[in-house]
Structure formats: C-alpha cells, structure tokens
Amino acid sequence: MELGLAGRVAVVSGGASNIGRAISLALAAEGASVAILDLDAEQAERVAGTARSCGAGDALAVRADITDPGGLAAAVAAVTDGMGPVEVLVNNAGWARRSRFLDQDPAESLKLIEINLIGTMNLTRAVLPAMVKRRSGSVVSIGSDAGRIGEKQEGAYGAAKAGVISLSKTLAREYGRSGVRFNVVCPGATVPDLPEHVSGSSLWNQEEYSVYRDPATQDAIARHYPLGRLGRPEDVAGAVCFLASERAAFITGQTLSVSGGYTMS
Ligand SMILES: NC(=O)c1ccc[n+]([C@@H]2O[C@H](COP(=O)([O-])OP(=O)(O)OC[C@H]3O[C@@H](n4cnc5c(N)ncnc54)[C@H](O)[C@@H]3O)[C@@H](O)[C@H]2O)c1
C-alpha cells in the first residue's frame, strides 16, 4: 500500500531508542523527512544518519526535553526552519518504573506523569497551532496496554498512559474540523533487538528491566499473548506509519493495541 508519506515532515519524540528508533526509520523508509527529538543527542544523530541512508527525504537530530515547554518551542522552530512545517507528530518519548503503588516514592510517580502525560501535552501544544493553521496534521501518541487495562506495578505509569488516551480523544473531538487527527498506539512488551538500538536515557538501561532480556521471562510473557510472542519495534512502527498517513484519513480518536492480542476491546 502506498502510504503517501514521502516528503512529509514528521517529528518523533524519543526517536533515538527502541520503538521510537523503529518509528523514525520506518517513516524514513517511506520517504518522510524525520526529526528525531530526544534527550540523547548523540544517539539521535546516529539514528538520523541511519534514516538518511534508508531513504528519508531529510533527517534531523534535535536535542530536547519534552518536560521543558520553552526548549520545545525552540526545538520545533528549528525543525520548521530546517525542514518545513510539521505534518506528523509522534508522541513516543516515555519513561517507566515498576513498583507497587505504596512502595513508589511520590516524586517518582510525579516524574512518570510529567514525562508520559505532561510531556505529551507540551509537545502537542508546541506543534498543534501550526497544524490547525494549515488545517492538516496527524498526531499519533504511544500509549500502553497498562493504560487500557491496568497492570500490576504500573499505577502511575498506567494512569499517565490512560491520560494520553483520554487527551487524544478530546483533541480528536476539538480539532477534527481543523483537519487534525489524533490516535494512540499501545504496544505490548517490546524488548530492544540490540543494545545499540537503545539510547543512553532509555528505560531499558534500568537494572529492573534486564529481566526482560531473559528468554524464560520472555516465554512467560508470550504465553499471555494470543500470537505467542513478544512485540518487535517494527510491529509498532507499521501501525504508527499507517495512522500517520492519509490512508487513515477517516480514523481519529482511536486506540490501537499492537500487543499480539493481549488486549482486546
Ligand atoms: N517497550 C515496551 O515494552 C513498551 C510497552 C508499552 C508502551 N511503551 C511505550 O513506548 C514508548 C517507547 O518505549 P521504548 O521501549 O522505546 O523506550 P526507551 O526508553 O527505549 O525510549 C524512550 C526514549 O524517550 C526519550 N525520552 C525520555 N524522556 C524524555 C524527555 N523528557 N524528553 C525527550 N526524550 C525523552 C529517551 O531518551 C529514549 O530515547 C514509551 O512511551 C513507552 O512508554 C513501551
């Protein structure tokens, strides 16, 4: 299917690592111009280099923190100056920390909400006015099945992701007539393929996530997935490219799980 993304300008937050990296490269392979916005500037630059070599119209690495609205305004201005107006926004940057609710330091809960929900709001605020002005745009945010069904040890994280889903539905209603669509993709467990595919600030560098690299743990998780395996970053990237594209022109306010059937509704 021709997605028609060639020449489109896309911003991918957290585009330097794992799922965001795969999304950036998939958009690049469709010929889009991709801005890889991340805390880790060096890894973002490496992904931008790979994006250029796999067909991107253009690729730009931009160091920015989605919890800093002032910095985001400058980052989006740099993208617009360098590549043109942003037509696709992928709110992918996120952070996770596993802990039972009462065991989690409230400051940690706040950080999870600040990055996953407030960060998504901040970047959307920085990009949306120009989309509304041009009466065209597609925003795809990365949620989580934890935000749909609730998962043990993911209280604040899941609440933030549920917030991303609710926010996207509201924005879909508010800005549909302005030509802007909002959808959410919820990955299941998606372990990085290779250590060099994660950034220095990836959640996968945390000790508590090393267990997911253990084949026995992966088998145990896969048993809960009707399709019998864990997710791959490319699985998520395919869904994001479709929703970002004009092929999804009549789809807005939707939440799509890419988790092998783990969550159905
Ligand atoms: N991998 C999974 O199993 C899984 C499952 C469900 C949902 N998700 C969601 O998918 C998204 C990507 O996950 P991943 O596994 O690729 O994570 P990751 O940690 O490997 O990558 C996230 C990227 O976001 C960047 N980032 C974090 N905070 C930032 C900030 N304040 N400003 C700018 N960039 C920031 C990091 O530097 C990193 O490069 C996240 O939103 C995550 O919550 C992942």
pLDDT (tens digit, 9 = 90+) per residue, 81-138? Answer: 999 999 999 999 999 999 999 999 999 999 999 999 999 999 999 999 999 999 999 9
Distance CA 181, CA 254 (A): 10
Distance CA 47, CA 242 (A): 21
In a domain, 113, yes or no: yes
pLDDT at residue 19, rounded to an integer: 98
In a domain, 19, yes or no: yes
In a domain, 265, yes or no: no
Q: What is the CATH number of the domain that holds 32?
A: 3.40.50.720
DSSP 113: H
Distance CA 93, CA 55 (A): 23
Asked if 209 is an active-site residue, the reply is no
DSSP 191: -
In a domain, 1, yes or no: no
In a domain, 173, yes or no: yes
Could you tell me the pTM of the whole model?
A: 0.98
Atom of ligand 1 at shortest range from CA of 188: 5
Domain holding 186, by residue range, is 9-258
What is the arithmetic mean of pLDDT over 256-261? 98
Distance CA 35, CA 55 (A): 14
Is the CB of residue 11 less than 8 Å from the CB of residue 124? no
Label residues 123-136 b or e (16+ Cβ within 10 Å = b): bbebbbeebbeeee
In a domain, 145, yes or no: yes
Number of domains in the chain: 1
Distance CA 17, CA 50 (A): 13
Q: Which residues line ligand 1 (CB under 6 A)?
A: 13-14, 16-20, 38-40, 64-67, 92-96, 115, 119, 142, 144, 187, 189-190, 198-199, 201-204
For the cut 90, the answer to whether the pLDDT of residue 167 exceeds it is yes
In a domain, 236, yes or no: yes
In a domain, 4, yes or no: no
